[in-house]
Amino acid sequence: MTLRRKLVVGNWKMHGSHKANAELLEGVLGARPFGADVAVCVPFPFLSETAVTLAGSDVRWGAQDCSAHENGAYTGEVSAAMLAEFGCRYAIVGHSERRAYHHEGDQLVAEKAKVALGRGVTPIVCVGETLDEREGGKTDEVVKRQLSAVIHTLAHCAGEIVVAYEPVWAIGTGRTATPEQAQAVHALLRAQLHAATPHADVMKILYGGSVKPDNAAALFAQPDIDGGLIGGASLKASDFVAICRAAG
């Protein structure tokens, strides 16, 4: 039995509009209370309206990235300090789409996590293998390497992050990891955290990759799966609410 309260985070990716966001958030707010912690990570331009809409509720919000720099001449970047001013509780870092399309490496991801934590924004650190890596038997090696960079960079603060295991082959494909496949990697990550911090037992490790209302409960029932990072299904209030309910 786990004492960890589950966390469900919607990653809207590059979706949304004033109208769509208002309807979505209204749907989520109207479905409370949830038995799990719930958050949405929205595109930067929508942080302000999200903060206003969710203020005073127990639904949290965050961003999908942050700069590894504190401030300065970095056109197009958004700092963790700015996110903190918008009341962001979370910032996703190291999402596989940023690793793949923006060439973010393990060390950059670790620096982003460090800067976020320094501003009181909890980084949701994503790790996960590609299909080639899984088929080549490299899953364990890849996720351990990705998490190891963060652990070493954060040192004694490593216990303050949220980890998200997102197998790249399961993202947006409708092909989810089985609960057993996901649990095996989560257990590995938990063991790695245990070796690094006394807080591993209370840390949250989320699963992401084609989580839907009909597979969420089985995933969340696994002992080391502490909730989900939800892409496509977080854009439809009824689906997202159903997943939040499956978490507790």
- Tell me which residues are annotated as active site: 95, 166
Among 211, 241, 244, 246, binds ligand 13P (CB under 6 A): 211
Q: Is 177 in the site for ligand 13P (CB under 6 A)?
A: no
Asked whether position 232 contacts ligand 13P by CB under 6 A, the answer is yes
229 binds ligand 13P per the rule CB under 6 A: yes
Rounded-to-integer distance, Cα 198 and Cα 216, Å: 29
- The runs of H, that is alpha helices, within the chain are 18-30, 47-54, 80-85, 96-101, 106-118, 131-135, 139-154, 179-196, 216-220, 237-246
Whose CA is closest to 203, among 161, 234, 143? 161
Q: Which is nearer to ligand 13P, 10 or 224 (CB)?
A: 10
Minimum Å distance from CB 192 to ligand 13P?
21
Contacting range for ligand 13P; rule: CB under 6 A; set: 24-32, 53-61, 133-141, 228-236: 228-236
Phi, psi of 164 (to 5 degrees): -125, 120
Q: Least distance (Å) from ligand 13P to the CB of residue 100?
A: 11
Nearer to ligand 13P, 2 or 173 (CB): 173
175 binds ligand 13P (CB under 6 A): no
Helical spans, DSSP H, in 31-68: 47-54
Residue 104 interacts with ligand 13P (CB under 6 A)? no
Strand ranges for 57-101 from DSSP E: 60-63, 90-93
Query: Are 123 and 93 contacting, i.e. CB atoms less than 8 angstroms apart?
Result: yes
- Asked if 79 and 67 count as a contact pair (C-beta separation under 8 A), the reply is yes
Estimate to the nearest angstrom the gap between the alpha carbon of 28 and the chain centroid. Answer: 18
Binding mask 134-173 for ligand 13P (x = CB under 6 A): --------------------------------x----xx-
Give the whole-angstrom CA distance, residue 139 versus residue 13: 25
Decide: is 128 part of the binding site for ligand 13P (CB under 6 A): no
Stretch that binds ligand 13P, among 43-51, 191-199, 215-223, 229-237 (CB under 6 A): 229-237
Q: Which is nearer to ligand 13P, 203 or 211 (CB)?
A: 211
Binding site for ligand 13P (CB under 6 A): 11, 95, 166, 171-172, 208-211, 229-233
